[in-house]
Amino acid sequence: MNTRIIESAPGAYQYPLLIKQLLLSGQRYAPGGEIVSGAHRYDYRQLSQRIARLANVLTEAGIGAGDTVAVLDWDSHRYLEAYFAVPMIGAVLHHVNVRLSIDQIGYTMQHAEDKLVLVHDDFLPIVEQLVDQLPTVQGYIQLNDGEASGRATFETLGEYEVLLAAAEVSYDFPDFDENSVATTFYTTGTTGNPKGVYFSHRQLVLHTLATATTLAAFDGVPLLRSEDVYMPMTPMFHVHAWGIPYVATLLGVKQVYPGRYEPNRLVRLYREEGVTFSHGVPTVLQMILNSEEAESTDLSRWKLMTGGAAPTEALVRKMSERGIRFYTGYGMSETCPILTISHLSPAQAQLSMEEQIALRMRTGVPLPLVELRLMDDVGNPVAADDLSVGEVQVRTPWLTQGYLREPEKGAELWQGGWLHTGDVASINADGVIQIRDRMKDVIKTGGEWISSLLLESLISKHPAVANVAVVGVPDPRWDERPLAMIVPAEGAEVDADQIKAHLMQYVDSGQINKWAIPEQIRVVDSIPVTSVGKLDKKRIRAQLAGQF
Amino acid sequence: MNTRIIESAPGAYQYPLLIKQLLLSGQRYAPGGEIVSGAHRYDYRQLSQRIARLANVLTEAGIGAGDTVAVLDWDSHRYLEAYFAVPMIGAVLHHVNVRLSIDQIGYTMQHAEDKLVLVHDDFLPIVEQLVDQLPTVQGYIQLNDGEASGRATFETLGEYEVLLAAAEVSYDFPDFDENSVATTFYTTGTTGNPKGVYFSHRQLVLHTLATATTLAAFDGVPLLRSEDVYMPMTPMFHVHAWGIPYVATLLGVKQVYPGRYEPNRLVRLYREEGVTFSHGVPTVLQMILNSEEAESTDLSRWKLMTGGAAPTEALVRKMSERGIRFYTGYGMSETCPILTISHLSPAQAQLSMEEQIALRMRTGVPLPLVELRLMDDVGNPVAADDLSVGEVQVRTPWLTQGYLREPEKGAELWQGGWLHTGDVASINADGVIQIRDRMKDVIKTGGEWISSLLLESLISKHPAVANVAVVGVPDPRWDERPLAMIVPAEGAEVDADQIKAHLMQYVDSGQINKWAIPEQIRVVDSIPVTSVGKLDKKRIRAQLAGQF
């Protein structure tokens, strides 16, 4: 298109979007705002100085533009400083997922070509096993929480705080192309090696601005404003801790970094530091609610955003009983991550908490600048009836533009110019999204999609059902049909006809279509699960294969 | 710098920042949110449809990418629709300043090469006089407020609402380069022709996001959140109405467009439509406070942002007496416009309103992504003592990259890679800016700068002074020295020594330096003023020239 683009006047500065600019406002609006982490407690002026010191340490360690710096740490002020200092010198921050297997950690550190490694003493045993397999690594810096440093069996440059204390307090951070990679980390599927995603300065700045606007401006999502106190409960190696440390720093809010997650300590920090906003996966929130400290603590000041997996109704009910204001977010490693957040309209906010629960559990409304569509099998948008499902496809300014050194996999992710999330969702008349399934688990029947998760959820409401899995099995006429495997509750009996009759009530209430009811319902003794206790649909399908 | 830039995977979509994306979230979060303008009242779904209809009308009128569309209108829903539709088809929106002289209006329309003109009936007399001097214009569309259209003596394509009603309700808005020019308008100095500034899609999106974050997230600037009701009182032809219509649309808030400003009607709209947030220059706010309707109306729901000129203390005091929460913003045509907004820390917000007044009148704190520095004569940053002054120089992602077809003037604006505002300011220890003078009026003495405005303000506190002007006059030793001209109050007598003694108290209290006291203080009968009643320093200096 022949739009008008005017050449800039001589000298005109074309301002690039760089992570260093996210540091400007926090210290201006709240120079005395605190960063709290273990025994460390300092303000935003000192945060800027420490970031400059870290940049000097990195530079002296031989790190330059384009090099990759790996971090293996718990949630800490050091991680926050690395979120800024590493990209600000033009280098790439690799958040190493310390929960992967040692082989996978080794693979990701080799694949990312890490040059310097910041490693917490707790992870020295991992690095010790890998140290001979990391030819690109030229140095290690030790991190610890105030005790004497652990003894590394390999050579290190020294301890983080000691190195920072010896470094110059200022650094002239350069400007450069906003499309420079700032961060990278790895996402694991069920098969194959972890895949590296990557995000640029521009992408992180825009994710920060859109998230900041959403969390602050919409009274139905009143999660984070300047007088809040923030404590992450999502690991900082997990998709930028959902990007919130950047938002919090932009606003100058008090930030509390809790180290290794220990439920009682998290609740104590909440209480003693005046925390008002946190986020975490359902498992972490469940651990907190079950902790001893939580029993004796008023949790009603806490605003919690959950995501990463669907929260159970039991968890959500318990949060609401404790007076916690909770919301659901949705996103993935490939999306920086935030795409949607659940939202209450002013009228909905007047409903009883019982009525609000379903609304707060929904996947939510897309953020500003997020284009999101739900596409069926033949590439048409699905009806906004909350019943029809389609794949979630997105465009926003903060999506990974591929996988690190795997262009074919990137091309698959980006088929047709939209990022394919692999998630299947419905949308209601109010435009609110609900994730229903993963693409690979959805049952494709007669050109329509049936959510296996929805069927599982409805079947499990039957009192005689202890466990259930629904998978698609080949069908000559409909391509696929759902098949349900059911484990009866102890001492109970159940048969296929009872389940079909049970499901009919959801047909009557409009939650499923009649053709979603499985013809085949098998009562079994047990259902294969993965090592973390999830239904293992791959194995279930393999068991069933050959039977059709 | 050799940062890492990775080629995108095949098919990966590189999301450009385009104005059309600002429309996404409002209708998702608040589909039923209202736009009110004269007899028109419609919701965000209809806003999108009307923007599509306008795009079809423009396209049918022969407007394509790169063409310029001029608007001469009061603040209206039509202007809001043009803010979106014109840039969204790749064309350029020219906000014509209808307050310029007819010659200047003609000059700007010729210089911008307007191709289509949307003109309100009230401005038909202007266009009628210009119609033969606008060779680039190929068509006119008439705008009116519900009465039968005025009779134009030239041919038009028809009336806006009639054309919209006949147009298709959907439009496939294309994506294009985010650096495409979206808007243009003209700024007038004291000499020479008006100069055209221009802003790209990228710049407007970033200005919107940073402003939205600031107005929503900082409790010390709680101006605009999703449940607010917005009514501009800055003309929409004046620097995008400070960019707030874009912010309001992003949030989906109720928007009220008041047409031609009539103080009593503005207050009625405030009362009847539930307005909570407006902005305007001090003159407009003064008119409103003086209106009859204001006397009988509770104004304490109103949050007002003022800017464009320094508010007088009398105005600010009156606003605070009426319970209005007011803030000051700072920016200029060249800067999109917002650079700073006054801000109260939580502690300051607890002060009495009397104590808050000075804080709320200050120029304020720079927004996120705004780099702002105060530079003295020799290019050094001034001390943060609120006494030293320097020129305000800025970098942000939303600054005009030059003047339309005047690269030399653009180069002057952008000397050294920083936009030179021509304003002189001080900064205090809290990082809060205060504009003190215009560069051309500041007095440069012995390598230091003295604010003429500050001296005038301090001298005018003397009870015997009715009017005062301070200008710099040449001095062989100090380059310049301040000279004060004083008109005594009726019946009062005053001499130079009294004024010098009066000024000594401000030296003692640290508000000025001793060397700022003028040696020359002249008592005169009158001081030259401009046609709008401002001190005419150009004429004062000319009168004094030759005497030294």
Strand order in the sheet with A433-438: A371-375, A390-395, A419-427, A433-438
What integer pLDDT is reported at residue B195 of this predicted model?
96
Check residue A342 and report its DSSP letter.
-
Contacts of A431 in chain B (CB under 8 A): 28, 31
User: What are the pLDDT digits (tens) for B355-407?
Assistant: 899 898 899 999 999 999 999 988 999 999 998 999 999 999 999 999 999 99
d(CA B395, CA A254) in angstroms, rounded, equals: 27
Contacts of B31 in chain A (CB under 8 A): 430-431
Among residues A409, A444, A500, A538, which one is catalytic?
A444
**Beta carbons of B337 and B361 less than 8 angstroms apart:** no
Check residue B193 and report its DSSP letter.
S
d(CA B459, CA B469) in angstroms, rounded, equals: 9
Token readout for B43 is 């919701």
Token readout for B466 is 């009715």
pLDDT band at B532 (very low <50, low <70, confident <90, very high): low
Comparing CB atoms, the residue among A17, A92, A418 nearest residue B13 is A418
d(CA A299, CA A307) in angstroms, rounded, equals: 19
Residues spanned by CATH 3.30.300.30 within chain A?
449-544
Among residues A74, A242, A302, A449, which one is catalytic?
A449
What one-character-per-residue DSSP string does B43-62 give?
A: EHHHHHHHHHHHHHHHHHTT
Residues spanned by CATH 3.30.300.30 within chain B?
451-544
Using CB atoms within 10 Å of the CB of residue B467, give its burial: 0 to 12 exposed, 13 to 18 middle, 19+ buried. Answer: middle
Higher pLDDT among residues B530 and B528, named by residue: B528
Residues spanned by CATH 3.40.50.980 within chain A?
44-176
Contact between chains at A2 and B251 (C-beta distance less than 8 A)? no
Signed CA dihedral, B501, B502, B503, B509: sign only: positive
DSSP strand pairing (A34-37 vs A68-72): unpaired
What dotted CATH number matches A449-544? 3.30.300.30
Comparing CB atoms, the residue among B9, B65, B213 nearest residue A213 is B213
**Beta carbons of B435 and B390 less than 8 angstroms apart:** no
What integer pLDDT is reported at residue A151 of this predicted model?
81
d(CA A291, CA B91) in angstroms, rounded, equals: 60
> Tell me, what's the ipTM?
0.92
Comparing CB atoms, the residue among B224, B250, B414 nearest residue A11 is B414
Res B546 pLDDT > 70: no
User: What are the pLDDT digits (tens) for B436-475?
Assistant: 988 888 898 888 888 888 899 899 999 999 999 999 999 9
d(CA A344, CA A350) in angstroms, rounded, equals: 9
What contacts 24+ positions apart, CB below 8 Å, involve A498-507? A498/A462, A498/A464, A499/A459, A499/A462, A499/A465, A502/A458, A502/A459, A502/A461, A502/A462, A503/A455, A503/A458, A503/A459, A506/A458
Distances B536 to A151, B130, B539 between C-alpha atoms, Å: 76, 31, 6
Place of tokens 């949050």: B303
What integer pLDDT is reported at residue B243 of this predicted model?
98
Nearest of B239, B295, B240, B231 to residue B261 by alpha carbon: B231
Q: Which residues pair with B479 in a beta bridge?
A: B445, B475
Contacts of A31 in chain B (CB under 8 A): 430-431
Class of domain B19-169+178-427: alpha beta
Q: Which residues contact B344 (CB under 8 A, 6 or more apart)?
A: B220, B221, B356, B359, B360
d(CA A74, CA A236) in angstroms, rounded, equals: 7
* Ranges of H-type helices in B425-468: 452-459
Comparing CB atoms, the residue among B9, B217, B225 nearest residue A410 is B9
Q: Which residues contact A383 (CB under 8 A, 6 or more apart)?
A: none
d(CA A372, CA B430) in angstroms, rounded, equals: 43
Residues spanned by CATH 3.40.50.12780 within chain B?
19-169+178-427
Check residue B367 and report its DSSP letter.
P
Place of tokens 């946190």: A278
What one-character-per-residue DSSP string does A173-221 give?
A: PPP--TTSEEEEEEE--SSSS-EEEEEEHHHHHHHHHHHHHHHHH-TTS
Contact between chains at A407 and B180 (C-beta distance less than 8 A)? no
Nearest of B537, B530, B409, B408 to residue B469 by alpha carbon: B537
Size of interface A-B (CB pairs under 8 A): 253
Q: Mean per-residue pLDDT for B243-264?
A: 97
d(CA B59, CA B137) in angstroms, rounded, equals: 15
Work out the angle between the directed axes of helices A244-251 and A201-217 (0-180°, nearest 10).
70
A449 is catalytic: yes
Give the three-class secondary structure for B329.
strand
Token readout for B155 is 């041919």
N-terminal to C-terminal alpha carbon distance within chain B = 54
For chain B, what is the mean pLDDT? 94
d(CA A318, CA A42) in angstroms, rounded, equals: 35
Contact between chains at B213 and A250 (C-beta distance less than 8 A)? yes
Q: Which residues contact A385 (CB under 8 A, 6 or more apart)?
A: A426, A428, A429
Phi, psi of A492 (to 5 degrees): -100, 160
d(CA B192, CA B324) in angstroms, rounded, equals: 40
pTM above 0.80, yes or no: yes
Contact between chains at B217 and A212 (C-beta distance less than 8 A)? yes
Region class of A138: left (phi > 0), else alpha (psi between -120 and 50), else beta: alpha
Place of tokens 């068991």: A543
**Beta carbons of B249 and B80 less than 8 angstroms apart:** yes
Q: Greatest CA separation found in chain A?
A: 83
Higher pLDDT among residues A400 and B150, named by residue: A400
Token readout for B263 is 């103080």
Which one is the CATH code of A44-176: 3.30.360.10, 3.40.980.10, 3.40.50.980, 3.40.1830.10?
Answer: 3.40.50.980
Contacts of B92 in chain A (CB under 8 A): 4
Catalytic center residues of B: 187, 334, 444, 449
Token readout for A57 is 């340490």
Token readout for B502 is 């009066």
Contact between chains at A11 and B212 (C-beta distance less than 8 A)? no
pLDDT band at B309 (very low <50, low <70, confident <90, very high): confident
Nearest of B196, B190, B239, B192 to residue B440 by alpha carbon: B190
What integer pLDDT is reported at residue A546 of this predicted model?
63
Q: For every one of its 548 residues, what pLDDT tens digit does chain A have, with 9 covering 90 and above?
A: 899 999 999 999 999 999 999 999 999 999 999 999 999 999 999 999 999 999 999 999 999 999 999 999 999 999 999 999 999 999 999 999 999 999 999 999 999 999 999 999 999 999 999 999 999 999 999 999 977 767 888 999 999 999 999 999 999 999 999 999 999 999 987 678 999 999 999 999 999 999 999 999 998 887 899 999 999 999 999 999 999 999 999 999 999 999 999 999 999 999 999 999 999 999 899 999 999 999 999 999 999 999 988 888 889 999 999 999 999 999 999 999 999 999 998 889 899 988 899 898 899 999 999 999 999 988 999 999 999 999 999 999 999 999 999 999 999 999 999 999 999 999 999 899 999 988 888 898 888 888 888 899 899 999 999 999 999 999 998 889 999 999 999 999 999 999 999 999 999 988 888 999 999 999 999 998 877 677 888 889 888 876 65
d(CA B209, CA B338) in angstroms, rounded, equals: 12
Res B133 pLDDT > 80: yes
Signed CA dihedral, B210, B402, A180, A156: sign only: negative
CA distance, residue A27 to nearest chain B CA (Å): 9
Please give the CATH architecture assigned to the domain spanning B451-544: 2-Layer Sandwich (3.30)
Consecutive H or E run containing A427: strand A419-427
A342-371: burial string, b at 16+ Cβ within 10 Å, e else: bbbbeeeeeeeeeebbebbbbbbbbbbbbe
Place of tokens 């009294």: B498
Token readout for B56 is 């079809």
d(CA B277, CA B215) in angstroms, rounded, equals: 11
**For A131, how many CA atoms within 13 A lie in the half-sphere containing its CB?**
16
Contacts of B15 in chain A (CB under 8 A): 369, 395-397, 399
